[in-house]
Amino acid sequence: MTGPAPDPGPARDTRPAPGTGAAPGAADAAALRERAVASLTTARDRTTLLTSCVDDPDLTAQHSPLMSPLVWDLAHIGNQEEQWLLRAVAGQEAIRPEIDSLYDAFEHPRAERPRLPLLPPDEARRYAADVRERALEVLEGTAFDGTRLTRAGFAFGMIAQHEQQHDETMLITHQLRTGPQALTAPDPDPVPLFTGPSEVLVPGGPFTMGTSDEPWALDNERPAHRREVPPFYIDTTPVTNAAYQAFIEDGGYDDPRWWTPRGWAHIRRHSLTAPLFWHRDGGQWLRRRFGVTEVVPPDEPVLHVCWYEADAYARWDGRRLPTEAEWEKAARYDPSADRSMRYPWGDADPAPEHANLGQRHLRPAPAGSYPAGESPLGVRQLIGDVWEWTASDFLPYPGFRAFPYREYSEVFFGSGYKVLRGGSFAVDPVACRGTFRNWDHPVRRQIFSGFRTARSGDV
């Protein structure tokens, strides 16, 4: 995951957006402060769990060159919080200015970070705790009617989202580490096998994409703008493991017809024959999940596939990946009211009945779960479970303005990154909404990525 995320607000969000100049009243300020404290606390509780369930050697080791040592993430979380909340918001002097460069994600690629003089685990914990104690004091005294950074509590929401994004990154590291199981969580509730329609028609016409008034929305989600989208069909649920196994068994990885030239070259170069963490044992497929080997569950959304694999499956199935605009229209558009909602189910914040979020389960729920979270058109699991690859490159919206720093979004725009939407089971609600945009290289498979397919409405 590359950047920060959303906002858990009331059922209908009427709070002032960053940059509007509106000053909240006392009650609104108290609610903003309460939400910020809750979001920051939830994030820190998850960080603590992810960094306390293994011993120090596991924290300082690099479990994959694709990922940082867990102890780097821990201190980076504290350093970002210090830079934005203590220095930028409160104007305080730096606590540890000498470590800024160590935890600059742009200065040091992940593969190099184990060789840096990083803070050892106990010192990293003390540093992050010290920063948090001071940040909560800053929050208590902050008026939410000042600069754009503090309006509607944006900086505090940004930091909560940033920490939750690193919590997802650290969960990916846990999946990549070898050794015995360190994390446990209850499985999603079992549901009957989904027997609804395999696809739904999304009507053509304009809709409002992005947002200009979601208080904690990030720069790449802004501004709201009208998009014209022709009619199209989209899968009711994400593609399942059973469906993807059919692609494998039909020789999908051996037939260049289904692959882009770059995709074909990539899978041949790396000898890819199945999703990451899968292996065949006799007549069945097994997978490794957080230190446990298990039979691949047929009715779960497929996980740990790269963009090239998702695109090849869609071609094999006579379909295609949805564009980012199509995905968002399917997720947010209510044709009966001709408006875009915050989430597929409406404007209310995510609740457990809506989506699989927050690492409360360490796996996707079966396809067809969460009927309370379906869109007005009947599309399910658009939020949570798996990040969904789209056909689109990561590009700015018309009128985009970088805020509060170019390195969050702007430096990634271009054809080198594909957009993922919807969030995964590893994403907290504060970092997931109908407008939230994630992006990654099309070769990435360690992320909690899956997909659904689409086809044009006139086909």
- Residues in the chain predicted with pLDDT less than 70, given as ranges, are 1-27, 459
CA pair distance 356, 369, nearest whole angstrom: 9
Distances in Å between the Cα of 102 and the Cα atoms of 49, 67, 73, 91, 115 are 24, 15, 11, 22, 10
Q: Which pLDDT does position 458 carry in this prediction?
A: 73
Q: Which pLDDT does position 145 carry in this prediction?
A: 80
Q: Which pLDDT does position 27 carry in this prediction?
A: 64
Q: Which pLDDT does position 4 carry in this prediction?
A: 32
9-25 burial, b at 16+ Cβ within 10 Å, e below that, comes to beeebebbbbbeeeebe
Angle at 33 between CA 30 and CA 38, to 5 degrees: 125
Q: Which pLDDT does position 146 carry in this prediction?
A: 75
Sheet strands side by side (includes 232-235): 199-202, 232-235, 454-456
- Say how many C-beta atoms besides its own lie within 10 A of residue 27's C-beta: 8
Task: For residue range 175-218, list pLDDT tens digits in order.
Answer: 999 989 999 999 999 999 899 999 999 999 999 999 999 999 99
Mapped onto helix, strand or coil, the DSSP state of residue 197 is coil
Task: For residue range 127-176, list pLDDT tens digits in order.
Answer: 999 999 999 999 999 989 878 999 999 999 999 999 999 999 999 999 99
CA pair distance 364, 357, nearest whole angstrom: 9
Q: Which pLDDT does position 3 carry in this prediction?
A: 37
Q: Which pLDDT does position 331 carry in this prediction?
A: 98
Phi, psi of 233 (to 5 degrees): -105, 145
